[in-house]
Amino acid sequence: MSEKTLRSQDWFGRSGKDGFIYRAWMKNQGIPDEEFRGKPVIGICNTWSELTPCNAHFRELAESVKKGVIAAGGFPLEFPVMSLGETLMKPTAMLYRNLASMDTEESIRANPMDGVVLLCGCDKTTPSLVMGAASVDLPTIVVSGGPMLTGKYEGRDIGTSDIWRFSDAVRSGQMSQQELTVAEACMCRSQGHCAPMGTASTMACMVESLGLSLPENAAIPAADSRRKVIAQLSGKRIVEMVKEDLRMSHVLTRKAFENAIIVNAAIGGSTNFVIHLLAIAGRIGVPLELADFDRISAGIPLIANLQPSGKHFMEDFYYAGGLPALMSSLHEKLHHDNLTVSGKSIKHNYESARIWNKDVIATLDEPFKKETGLVVLRGNLCADGAVMKPSAASPELLKHKGKAIVFENIEDFHSRIDDPTLPVDKDSVLVLKNVGPVGYPGMPEVGNMSLPKKLLAAGITDLVRISDGRMSGTGFGTVILHVSPEAARGGTLALVENGDLISLDVDARSLELLVPDMEIASRRSRWMASHPLASRGYVQLYQQHVTQAHEGADMDFLRGGSGDKVTRDSH
């Protein structure tokens, strides 16, 4: 690519007053004049924040990227975008995913960048940045922050999925509050994001299987020196990508999305994968539907033995060969010729990888579990679909009929779940309404509702649970999520009453409310929305424009992209 065709030269290559202004104010940072003379400008989009602990090491990571950019003859410029910390943000980080994507999109387009490095880590920071960047479609590469080292507590490995086990143990009196406090520091003992195959790790695998990162990016632990190496190599590579004009749309093809779905099934990835991949596809203009997830992942067994579907953690996954080894194991199921940011095909990225530990990464012939990672359910209770993860569910509940115990919202759930008079037993089906995109708003991760104390005390560890919300990628259980249409939009979920029979049949992919159609119609005619409505600001905009879960819960006006052109020029 010649100097003239660099996008950044429309700023830094100008003469006269405009060029003076563009360069002079940059020079206050001590940048020599030669940097502005035709070098590819690489934006490093940083979600560093001390309020996003999973991404708190990103300043260091950005320095490694810069070294690579400079070595390859580029000019790196780091910039912040809204950071979404899963643990601290209220009411839920998901409410702000679309806002962060808008920040990313507009920050990239408005500034003199030729290529972009996205620094992503905690759950929502990956999809929001990829969505925003996809709507601009410059050459873009993702560097993930990497998982934490595996937690160690009382001589055993622990990770985020143990939060639910510990919480239930405290509630049932098997663990003291003091022991719980000790476990906090034992779980999060290094920089990085959650250590199981939760949403953050799923997102890191998603970008690698889509071809948006260099091979091995998904699993290198944050604390491993090789994390800095891949950051530096990515910095080098993005400069070459600018010269090759290798844009996101060249990588994000339908085949790339299909590979990501196949890989997600094999790793037992988070249910959040569905909602984020749909949103990314919507931005880049690749047709993708909820039904594709079930159809494409059918017959793909679980070959990664990672929590919450299995036993190990991301650190083990990396030492066992990481995602390239898993993809080599999946070879016969994958598309092979997809172009990736490495400039090579996806097959080239994984074909020399080897599996070093078959207890962590298995083979297609001898998988850990036959069930695929995700199924899509249909029925009168979820006309536009619902998702569940059989690999993290109880096999005996995959075909089940039980009476509904209904909670109108999350506050109702918290106030009554441990009420000793609640008529709940091992066959009950817990139903939680108004935790969808519009109803909460923001679709929080509350779908894996805690079980009632009295059932825990009786040794019962799972129930069928249904909601229009989401579940943490580290959660587990027979949990049906993303029911669409949601209760707040008048879906049948809103009409379920205590004692109604509900039938789940995962093999038949069905979820039915066993109430006569006439009765459902009668209830619908009397139904009135009861969710809170924001009176101003971003949350009002969100409630007015967010799409349903089966469409990716993006804003309706954000689908597609506007490219990298700046339409007006005030100078």
Q: Which is nearer to ligand FES, 194 or 280 (CB)?
A: 194
Instruction: Decide: residue 19, CB within 10 A, 0-12 exposed, 13-18 middle, 19+ buried.
Output: middle
The distance between the two most distant Cα atoms of the chain, rounded to a whole number of Å, is 79
Asked if 95 touches ligand FES (CB under 6 A), the answer is no
The DSSP element (H or E) to which 12 belongs, if any, is helix 9-12
**Minimum distance between the CB of residue 260 and ligand FES, rounded to whole angstroms?**
19
Considering only residues 442 to 501 of the shown chain, the ones binding ligand FES according to CB under 6 A are none
**Minimum distance between the CB of residue 156 and ligand FES, rounded to whole angstroms?**
20
Q: Name which position in 6, 54, 100, 207 contacts ligand FES (CB under 6 A).
A: 54
Q: How many residues does the chain have?
A: 571
How are strands ordered across the β-sheet holding 140-144? 75-80, 41-46, 115-120, 140-144
Per-residue contact string for residues 228-267; x = within reach of ligand FES by CB under 6 A: ----------------------------------------
Asked if 394 touches ligand FES (CB under 6 A), the answer is no
Q: Name which position in 127, 151, 198, 221 contacts ligand FES (CB under 6 A).
A: 198
Tokens 């502005």 locate to 36
Q: Whole-angstrom Cα distance, residue 453 to residue 92?
A: 25
Q: Whole-angstrom Cα distance, residue 138 to residue 553?
A: 24
Q: Which is nearer to ligand FES, 45 or 487 (CB)?
A: 45
Q: Which is nearer to ligand FES, 89 or 210 (CB)?
A: 89
Q: Which is nearer to ligand FES, 54 or 136 (CB)?
A: 54
Q: Which is nearer to ligand FES, 134 or 204 (CB)?
A: 204
Q: Whole-angstrom Cα distance, residue 21 to residue 316?
A: 51
Considering only residues 499 to 518 of the shown chain, the ones binding ligand FES according to CB under 6 A are none
Considering only residues 158 to 197 of the shown chain, the ones binding ligand FES according to CB under 6 A are 160, 193-194
**Minimum distance between the CB of residue 45 and ligand FES, rounded to whole angstroms?**
18
Per-residue contact string for residues 2-41; x = within reach of ligand FES by CB under 6 A: ----------------------------------------
CA atoms within 13 A on the CB side of 80: 11
Q: Which is nearer to ligand FES, 194 or 471 (CB)?
A: 194
**Minimum distance between the CB of residue 524 and ligand FES, rounded to whole angstroms?**
38
- Cα–Cα distances in angstroms (integers) from residue 456 to residues 183, 406, 532, in the given order: 21, 19, 32
**Minimum distance between the CB of residue 131 and ligand FES, rounded to whole angstroms?**
18
**Minimum distance between the CB of residue 476 and ligand FES, rounded to whole angstroms?**
15
**Minimum distance between the CB of residue 418 and ligand FES, rounded to whole angstroms?**
26
Asked if 87 touches ligand FES (CB under 6 A), the answer is yes
**Minimum distance between the CB of residue 304 and ligand FES, rounded to whole angstroms?**
18
Q: Whole-angstrom Cα distance, residue 346 to residue 18?
A: 43
- Cα–Cα distances in angstroms (integers) from residue 451 to residues 172, 286, 464, 493, in the given order: 10, 40, 10, 20
Beta strands 479-480 and 464-467, pairing class: parallel
DSSP-assigned letters across all residues of 109-166:
HHS--SEEEEEE-STTHHHHHHHHHHTT--SEEEEE--BPPPEEETTEEE-TTHHHHH
CB 470 within 8 A of CB 271: yes
Q: Whole-angstrom Cα distance, residue 424 to residue 404?
A: 9
Q: Name which position in 65, 130, 200, 231 contacts ligand FES (CB under 6 A).
A: 200
Asked if 139 touches ligand FES (CB under 6 A), the answer is no
Per-residue contact string for residues 204-223; x = within reach of ligand FES by CB under 6 A: --------------------
Strands (E), 412-560: 429-432, 464-467, 479-480, 501-505, 510-513
**Minimum distance between the CB of residue 160 and ligand FES, rounded to whole angstroms?**
6
Secondary structure of residue 513 in the 3-state scheme: strand
Q: Which is nearer to ligand FES, 35 or 445 (CB)?
A: 445
**Minimum distance between the CB of residue 471 and ligand FES, rounded to whole angstroms?**
13
| Both structure tokens of 271 | 């249910």
Q: Name which position in 35, 78, 86, 216 contacts ligand FES (CB under 6 A).
A: 86
Q: Which is nearer to ligand FES, 194 or 241 (CB)?
A: 194
Q: Name which position in 78, 105, 123, 486 contacts ligand FES (CB under 6 A).
A: 123
Q: Whole-angstrom Cα distance, residue 159 to residue 444?
A: 21
Q: Which is nearer to ligand FES, 450 or 474 (CB)?
A: 474
**How many chain residues bind ligand FES (CB under 6 A)?**
10
Secondary structure of residue 564 in the 3-state scheme: coil
**Minimum distance between the CB of residue 182 and ligand FES, rounded to whole angstroms?**
20
**Minimum distance between the CB of residue 208 and ligand FES, rounded to whole angstroms?**
16
Nearest one of 196, 52, 73, 71 to 119, comparing CA atoms: 52
Asked if 122 touches ligand FES (CB under 6 A), the answer is yes
Q: Which is nearer to ligand FES, 441 or 473 (CB)?
A: 473
Asked if 114 touches ligand FES (CB under 6 A), the answer is no
**Minimum distance between the CB of residue 194 and ligand FES, rounded to whole angstroms?**
3
Q: Which is nearer to ligand FES, 200 or 279 (CB)?
A: 200
**Minimum distance between the CB of residue 204 and ligand FES, rounded to whole angstroms?**
10
CB 306 within 8 A of CB 314: yes
**Minimum distance between the CB of residue 152 and ligand FES, rounded to whole angstroms?**
18
How are strands ordered across the β-sheet holding 464-467? 382-388, 375-379, 510-513, 501-505, 399-407, 429-432, 464-467, 479-480
Q: Which is nearer to ligand FES, 194 or 539 (CB)?
A: 194
Q: Whole-angstrom Cα distance, residue 48 to residue 59?
A: 6
Q: Whole-angstrom Cα distance, residue 383 to residue 524?
A: 15
| Both structure tokens of 86 | 């899963």
* Chain contacts with ligand FES (rule: CB under 6 A): 54, 86-87, 122-123, 160, 193-194, 198, 200
